[in-house]
Amino acid sequence: MMTRINFNGKIIPSDKFQLGINNRAFKYGDSLFETIRVFDGTIPFIGFHFNRLIGGLSILGYNIPKKFNCNFIIQEINKLTKGKGNHRIRLMVFREDGGLYSPTNNNLNFIIERNGLKKNKFSFPKKGLSIGLLKDKLLISNKTSHLKTGNSLPYIYAALEKQKKNWDDCLIKNNKGKIVEAISSNIFIIKNNKLLTPPITSGCISGITRKLIIENIKNIQIEEKEFTHKFIKKSDGILLSNSIQGIKWVRNFEDIEFQYPVLGKKITQELNKLLG
């Protein structure tokens, strides 16, 4: 089946789409993206994704058309999904061609890609991950570090190390040596039946599932706190969160083996309640 994309509102075969040599996303990473999950044709967390995207576009000085609102994004996604099924959506926004580091205009283009998923809700895996820790200090907190931008080199570097070490994932440190996230996930540490997660000011992505957990999961104490390698090894467990997979858990971190976290399953159940 031929893959199709939505480019600025037009549905075209993906193999017919081409970027010019002066494309700013290609040349400078001048782009933002959102990875969005569709459940049975609905997009329950689109508002969170839209607000993060608009915040980033505003910080980066893009011209945002009046029509570019949350309902517009839903309609453009539905052109690919037909309002049915379960999907992984990648929405990418990039500035029009022109200029060197300084753009010649701030108008935006967008691309929407779709990949099918089988499940219509989050599922908590029975099998835990085996992960490692990247020695390099790759992340730094700044005005754009919480955004999902086209500059993913720190995460690519970490992913290459993961492949070399045959890990399932890799924890990444900031310039202060604090562990702040994984390759494509925010991190939560379980300690004495409490959840700890690094603050956005530590340099991690402002994840949507992270936000949902902090703002909506009741009866669980959650604290934003920076932590070290040593602290994690003395914890009761590690959970990873992202918008597509929901919650995953870590069985092995270096020489430590964690037990199956019932708390992770409980959080997954609470997230599924939000789908309605």
Sign of the Cα pseudo-torsion (153, 202, 190, 221, in order): negative
Assigned domain for 122 exists: no
Cβ neighbour number for residue 37 with a 10 Å cutoff? 25
Q: Is 120 helix (H, G, I), strand (E, B) or coil?
A: coil
Q: Are residues 40 and 169 in the same domain?
A: no
Q: Are residues 204 and 259 in the same domain?
A: yes
Going from the first residue of the chain to its last (276 residues), give the mean pLDDT of each consecutive group of 10, the final group possibly shorter: 88 92 95 98 97 97 97 98 97 97 97 97 97 96 95 96 97 97 98 95 97 92 94 96 97 96 96 93
CB 176 within 8 A of CB 139: no
Domain boundary among 82, 116, 150: 116
* DSSP per residue, 21-65: TT-HHHHH--EEEEEEEEBTTB-TTHHHHHHHHHHHHHHTT----
- Tell me how far apart the alpha carbons of residues 173 and 135 are, in angstroms, rounded to a whole number: 8
Domain boundary among 116, 149, 180: 116
Q: Which phi and psi angles does 38 have, rounded to 5°?
A: -105, 130
pTM more than 0.85: yes
- Residue 113 CA to chain centroid, in angstroms? 15
- Tell me how far apart the alpha carbons of residues 211 and 145 are, in angstroms, rounded to a whole number: 16
Cβ neighbour number for residue 235 with a 10 Å cutoff? 17
- Tell me how far apart the alpha carbons of residues 248 and 272 are, in angstroms, rounded to a whole number: 14
Q: Are residues 36 and 101 in the same domain?
A: yes
Q: Are residues 62 and 192 in the same domain?
A: no
Classify each residue of 2-30 as buried b or exposed e, where b means 16 or more C-beta atoms within 10 Å of its C-beta.
Answer: eebbbbeeeeeeeeeeeeeeebbbeebeb
Selection from 203, 201, 209 nearest residue 171 by Cα: 203
**CATH number, domain at 44?**
3.30.470.10
Q: Are residues 30 and 68 in the same domain?
A: yes
* DSSP per residue, 140-160: ---TTTTS-BS--HHHHHHHH
Domain hosting 28: range is 4-116
Say how many domains are in the chain. Answer: 2
Q: Are residues 224 and 95 in the same domain?
A: no
Q: Are residues 96 and 145 in the same domain?
A: no
DSSP 3-state percent helix, strand, coil across the chain (nearest 5):
30, 35, 40
- Tell me how far apart the alpha carbons of residues 232 and 175 are, in angstroms, rounded to a whole number: 18
Assigned domain for 123 exists: no
- Tell me how far apart the alpha carbons of residues 232 and 229 are, in angstroms, rounded to a whole number: 5
Residue 113: in which H helix or E strand, if any? strand 108-116
**CATH number, domain at 232?**
3.20.10.10
pLDDT score of 276: 78
Assigned domain for 121 exists: no
Cα angle 255-260-262, degrees, rounded to a multiple of 5 = 140
pLDDT score of 218: 85
Domain boundary among 85, 116, 147: 116
